[in-house]
Amino acid sequence: MIAKAPAPAPGADTSGDPYLPAHGNGGYRVRHYDLTLDYKVAPNRLSASAVITAEATQALSRASFDFGEFRINRVLVDGKPAKYVKRGAKLHVKPAKSIAVGAAFTVEVHYVGNPRPVGSRWGDVGWDELTDGALVASQPVGAPSWFPCNDHPSDKASYRVSVTTASPYLVAVTGTLVERSTSASTTKWVFDRPEPTATYLMSVQIGRYDDLELTGRGWAPPAGVGARLLSLGFGHGRVESVADSVPQRAAVPPRLRRAFDRDFGRQGRMMEFLQRLFGPYPFPEYVIVVTDDDLDDPIEAQGMSIFGANHVDGRRTHERLVVHELSHQWFGNSLTVADWRHIWLNEGFATYAEWLWSEEAGGLSAQALARDWYTRVKAKPADVRIADPGVARMFDERVYKRGALTLHALRGEIGDPAFFALLKAWAVEHRHRLVTTGQFVTTAEAYAGRSLTAFFTRWLDSTALPPL
Per-residue pLDDT tens listing for the chain (468 residues): 333 333 334 356 788 889 999 899 999 999 999 999 999 999 999 999 999 999 999 999 999 999 999 999 999 999 999 999 999 999 999 999 999 999 999 999 999 999 999 999 999 999 999 999 999 999 999 999 999 999 999 999 999 999 999 999 999 999 999 999 999 999 999 999 999 999 999 999 999 999 999 874 433 334 443 334 333 433 323 333 455 689 999 999 999 999 999 999 999 999 999 999 999 999 999 999 999 999 999 999 999 999 999 999 999 999 999 999 999 999 999 999 999 999 999 999 999 999 999 999 999 999 999 999 999 999 999 999 999 999 999 999 999 999 999 999 999 999 999 999 999 999 999 999 999 999 999 999 999 999 999 999 999 999 999 999
What CATH number should be reported for the domain whose range is 211-329? 3.30.2010.30
> Residues 306-316: pLDDT tens digits?
999 999 999 99
| Catalytic residue (one of 200, 352, 400, 447) | 400
Residue intervals of the chain classified under CATH 3.30.2010.30 are: 211-329
Residue intervals of the chain classified under CATH 2.60.40.1730 are: 28-126+138-192
> Residues 104-119: pLDDT tens digits?
999 999 999 999 999 9
What CATH number should be reported for the domain whose range is 28-126+138-192? 2.60.40.1730
Question: Which residues are documented as binding site for Zn(2+)?
Answer: 324, 328, 347
Question: Active-site residue 400, yes or no?
Answer: yes
**Burial class for 350, CB neighbours closer than 10 Å (0-12, 13-18, 19+):** buried
What CATH number should be reported for the domain whose range is 337-461? 1.10.390.10
Q: How far is it, in rounded angstroms, from Cα 337 to Cα 30?
A: 17
Question: Which residues are documented as binding site?
Answer: 324, 328, 347
| Catalytic residue (one of 272, 325, 354, 360) | 325
324 Ramachandran zone, left/alpha/beta (phi>0; psi -120 to 50): alpha
Question: Active-site residue 325, yes or no?
Answer: yes
Residue intervals of the chain classified under CATH 1.10.390.10 are: 337-461
- Angle at CA 97, nearest 5°, toward 91 and 100? 90
Q: How far is it, in rounded angstroms, from Cα 217 to Cα 214?
A: 6
